[in-house]
Structure 1
Amino acid sequence: MAKHRSLRRSPVSGLQRPGRGAQLVGLTAALAAAAGTAAGVAAPTTPVSAGTSLNPAQAEALTAARVERRDLGSRDLSRFELSLSSTQKAVQEAKAAQVAKARAAQLAANATLTERRALALAAAKAQAAKKAAALKKAAAAAAAAKAAALAKAEAARAAAPRIVLPTTGYHLTAHFGQGGSRWASNHTGLDFAAPMGTPVRSVLPGEVIQAEFAGAYGRQVKVRHADGTVTSYGHMSEFTVNVGDTVGAGTQVGSIGMSGNTTGPHVHFEVLLGGTDQVDPEPWLRDHGVNP
């Protein structure tokens, strides 16, 4: 029976199985081969007693174990390299994402700054336009006011009388060339009697060339007009103009009084052509549009 078991054939090789000691030696060699490094380099086989060798099955098993160990090492290395590559790729992608995020943040900041600058510029332009419009409006208003003032002044000049009588509420008490004991020779003007203090007016526009006390004429004012004619106003109680003043037709130059050689309140009115030649005031006034 024992002999029959030792000669049993192997189902794989068809050879007779070796003895139990040989199987233990082969198993020990296989285990030693399987315990080698992952690099596929065979580890030294376990020493066997002198005179012991591996049969073909054991050698084949040892070779298969070495091949499998080498394949496992190669697969482990490939997995490691793949894992390392994946890790590096993930790191690179993370860095790229970080760079993209930073760039996006910078672009957003630049866009915000640009928008703020655009808004500030638009606000400044609007303020400048508003200021320019206000200045333009003010200039237009000033021009309109000036034009209105000029028009009003022109209208006033147009409406102003071209000539007026020397006073109001009067009656004539002496005429030009009239003789009498109240003056040394014939009368040189026209006397307009009126109550004390009644305004005395310039008959035409002109310039005041005299405003002083003049002996028998009392307080006297003389006005030179545009054509060189001078009108004179005497015996007044006061002056209301000074030499060098510009007056219009109807401007008050003084008030009715009794200064100088007079017996009652009146204004002595004279007309001197060219400033020296005395003429009758009545026809002169009529020629200029008023009837004393």
Structure 2
Amino acid sequence: MAKHRSSRRGTGRRAQLIGLTAALAAAAGTTAVGVSSSAIGSSGPSTGTGLSPSQASALTAARIDRRDLGSRDASRIDLDLAATRKARADLVAKQRAAKLAATATQTQRRALALSAAKAAAAKKAAVQARALAAAKAAEIEKAKSAPKIVLPTTGYHLTARFNQAGGRWAHNHTGLDFAAPMGTPVRSVMAGEVIQADFEGAYGRQVKVRHADGTVTSYSHMSEFDVSVGDTVEAGTQVGAIGMTGNTTGPHVHFEVLPDGGSPINPEPWLQDHGLNP
């Protein structure tokens, strides 16, 4: 009886040893466990690896689980890497798209600013051109409307005519005397250039103007000069004022006409030929 109990205890120990060995093999991933048949004894069928069929099945299942677990871990790592790469690629694409959009916006703004500047310059040039054209037209109109010839003064009466004899002159009178109040403007009868503005003895303050056809007109006895030699004047430009300088007995302007600057002629028919009747 005691011997039988001892045999059962030995069988239990061998079963425990086999289970421990199988567990260690499963944990280590071994394909065989070196457990001799002597350690196992004669109880239970042999699988050729020193494991019972149930232990071999447990070991195989453990290996399959470990292989599946490794495969799942590798797949998870691959998926994580792929997701990271995709996220980085998306970020780079977004950054590039944002940079391109910013460049396009800046280019568009520059184009709009350049277009606006060109439009403003064109508008300014057009305004200036219109203003210049208007000024030129006004100048032409003014020239058209300006008188070609005027009388030498206003509010006058004639006190002496051409070739009139008198004790006040050394010889017969050489022009027309237009008497008017002191300070009345004396005007150039036509456009021309001032060739003299000086005090001339008996003629007092005298201005001479040469006109386009070479004719020279002379204005004497004035109280002041309003032009200088070299000035360009128009018909009606003030050259001085009625005065009493030189040989005179009253305020007037002595007006002479000298063709080509030579000897004086009768101013009255000359003025009439130009449409004026003094």
Return the TM-score normalized by structure 1.
0.84
Please tell me the residue identity of whatever aligns with 1:35.
L
| Among candidates 127, 152, 157, match of residue 166 of structure 1 | 152
- For residue 287 of structure 1, report the CA deviation from its aligned partner: 1.0
- For residue 68 of structure 1, report the CA deviation from its aligned partner: 3.6
| Among candidates 36, 41, 47, match of residue 32 of structure 2 | 41
Equivalent in the alignment of 1:7: none
CA distance in 2, matches of 1:126, 1:113: 20
- For residue 73 of structure 1, report the CA deviation from its aligned partner: 2.4
CA distance in 2, matches of 1:217, 1:62: 161
Q: Equivalent pairs: percent with the same residue? A: 48
Please tell me the residue identity of whatever aligns with 1:60.
P
Please tell me the residue identity of whatever aligns with 1:235.
H
| Among candidates 208, 222, 225, match of residue 239 of structure 1 | 225
Task: Note the residue ranges of structure 2 that are not aligned, 5 or more in a row.
Answer: none
CA distance in 1, matches of 2:235, 2:131: 26
Residue 223 of structure 2 aligns to a residue in which SS?
Answer: strand
- For residue 209 of structure 1, report the CA deviation from its aligned partner: 0.7
CA distance in 2, matches of 1:70, 1:144: 109
Whose radius of gyration is greater, 1 or 2? 1
Matched-pair contact (CA < 8 Å) for 2:158–2:179: yes
Equivalent in the alignment of 1:119: 105
Equivalent in the alignment of 1:185: 171
Equivalent in the alignment of 2:201: 215
- For residue 65 of structure 1, report the CA deviation from its aligned partner: 4.4
The equivalences for 1:1-292 within 5 A come to 29-36=14-21, 37-38=25-26, 39-45=30-36, 47=38, 54=42, 58=43, 60=45, 65-292=51-278
Residue 221 of structure 1 aligns to a residue in which SS?
Answer: strand
Q: Deviation per CA, 1:86-125, whole angstroms, max 9, x where unpaired?
A: 1122122112211211221121122222222222222222
Residue 167 of structure 1 aligns to a residue in which SS?
Answer: coil
- For residue 60 of structure 1, report the CA deviation from its aligned partner: 2.3
- For residue 61 of structure 1, report the CA deviation from its aligned partner: 5.8
Change (3 A) 1:129 1:62: closer
Matched-pair contact (CA < 8 Å) for 2:161–2:177: yes
Change (3 A) 1:40 1:88: closer
Further displaced range: 65-74 or 223-232? 65-74
Matched-pair contact (CA < 8 Å) for 2:44–2:52: no
Residue 198 of structure 2 aligns to a residue in which SS?
Answer: strand
Residue 291 of structure 1 aligns to a residue in which SS?
Answer: coil
Please tell me the residue identity of whatever aligns with 1:43.
G
C-alpha RMSD of matched pairs (Å):
2.3
Please tell me the residue identity of whatever aligns with 2:248.
T
Q: Deviation per CA, 1:186-223, whole angstroms, max 9, x where unpaired?
A: 11111111111110000000111110101111000000
- For residue 20 of structure 1, report the CA deviation from its aligned partner: 8.0
CA distance in 1, matches of 2:111, 2:58: 77
CA distance in 2, matches of 1:158, 1:144: 21
Matched-pair contact (CA < 8 Å) for 1:222–1:232: yes
- For residue 25 of structure 1, report the CA deviation from its aligned partner: 6.0
CA distance in 1, matches of 2:203, 2:127: 52
Equivalent in the alignment of 1:11: none
Further displaced range: 271-280 or 222-231? 271-280
CA distance in 1, matches of 2:262, 2:82: 111
Residue 168 of structure 1 aligns to a residue in which SS?
Answer: coil
